[in-house]
Amino acid sequence: MAEQTEAVHGTWSNRWIFILAATGSAVGLGNIWKFPYITGENGGGAFVLLYLVCIVLVGIPIMMGEVLIGRRGKLSPMESMRTLAKEAGASRLWRFVGWMGAIAGFLILSYYSVIAGWALIYVYRLGSGQLDGIGAVESEAMFNDLLADPVTLGLLHTAFMVMTMVVVARGVNKGIESAIRVLMPTLFVLLIVLLGYSLNSGGFEEGAKFLFTFDFSKLSGESVLVAMGHAFFTLSLGMGAIMVYGAYMPKDASIASTVVTVAALDTLVALAAGLAIFPIVFANNMEPSAGPGLMFVTLPVAFGQMAGGTIFGALFFLLVTFAAWSSSISLIEPLVAWCVEKSIASRPVVAAVLGLITWTLGIGTVLSFNEWSDVEFLLGKNFFDSIDYLTANIMLPLGGLLIAIFAGWSMRRSTVQKELNMDSFLLYNLWTVVVRLVAPTAVIVVVVWTLFQDQIVAILGLE
Whichever of 112 and 431 has its CB closer to ligand TRP, that residue is 112
Per-residue x/- track, 310-329, ligand TRP (CB under 6 A): -----------------x--
> Contacts with ligand TRP in 204-233 (CB under 6 A)?
233
Distance CA 251, CA 433 (A): 25
Q: Closest CB to ligand TRP among 26 and 443?
A: 26
For ligand TRP, the closer CB: 284 or 391: 391
> Interface with ligand TRP includes 76 (CB under 6 A)?
no
Q: Which long-range contacts (CB under 8 A, 24 or more apart) does 54-58 make?
A: 54/227, 54/228, 54/230, 54/231, 54/442, 55/231, 55/234, 55/235, 55/263, 55/267, 57/434, 57/438, 57/439, 57/442, 58/228, 58/231, 58/232, 58/400, 58/438, 58/439, 58/442, 58/443
Q: Does 258 bind ligand TRP (CB under 6 A)?
A: no
Q: In this chain, which residue has its C-beta nearest to ligand TRP?
A: 30
Q: How far is the CB of 335 from ligand TRP (least distance, A)?
A: 12
Q: Does 331 bind ligand TRP (CB under 6 A)?
A: yes
Does 24 bind ligand TRP (CB under 6 A)? Our answer is no
CA-based angle 42:46:52, to the nearest 5? 105
Euclidean distance between CA atoms 367 and 382, whole angstroms: 10
Helices (H) and strands (E) in the chain, counts: 23, 0
30 binds ligand TRP (CB under 6 A): yes
**Is 172 among the residues that bind ligand TRP (CB under 6 A)?**
no
Size of the site for ligand TRP (CB under 6 A): 17
One-letter amino acid of 321: T
Q: In degrees rounded to 5, what are phi and psi of residue 370?
A: -145, -95
* CA distance linking residue 297 with residue 286, whole number of Å: 9
Distance of CA 70 to the CA centre of its chain: 19
**Would you give the DSSP letter of residue 129?**
T
395 to 424: interface string for ligand TRP, x by CB under 6 A: -x----------------------------
Binder of ligand TRP out of 17, 28, 167, 443 (CB under 6 A): 28
CB 207 within 8 A of CB 278: yes
The smaller minimum CB distance to ligand TRP, of residues 256 and 263, is found at 263
- Give yes or no for residue 105 binding ligand TRP (CB under 6 A): yes
Contact residue for ligand TRP among 23, 201, 234, 310 (CB under 6 A): 234
Amino acid at 37: Y
**For ligand TRP, the closer CB: 168 or 286:** 168
Choices 234-242, 250-258, 276-284, 345-353 (CB under 6 A): range interacting with ligand TRP: 234-242
Return left, alpha or beta for 129; rule: phi > 0 is left, psi -120 to 50 is alpha, else beta. Answer: left
Site for ligand TRP contains 295 (CB under 6 A): no
d(CA 363, CA 406): 36
**Minimum CB distance to ligand TRP, residue 324 (Å):** 7
Told to check if 39 binds ligand TRP by CB under 6 A, we report no
Shortest distance in whole angstroms from residue 108 CB to ligand TRP: 6
Q: Is 382 in the site for ligand TRP (CB under 6 A)?
A: no
User: Which residue(s) pair with 378 in the sheet?
Assistant: 381
Q: Which helix (H) or strand (E) holds 438?
A: none
Q: Is 236 in the site for ligand TRP (CB under 6 A)?
A: yes
Find, among 431, 396, 401, 400, the residue nearest to 416 by Cα.
431
- Does 25 interact with ligand TRP (rule: CB under 6 A)? yes
Rounded to 5 degrees, φ, ψ at 239 are -135, 5
Minimum distance, C-beta of residue 16 to ligand TRP, in the bound complex (Å): 19
- Footprint of ligand TRP on this chain (CB under 6 A)? 25-26, 28-31, 105, 108, 233-234, 236, 239, 241, 327, 330-331, 396
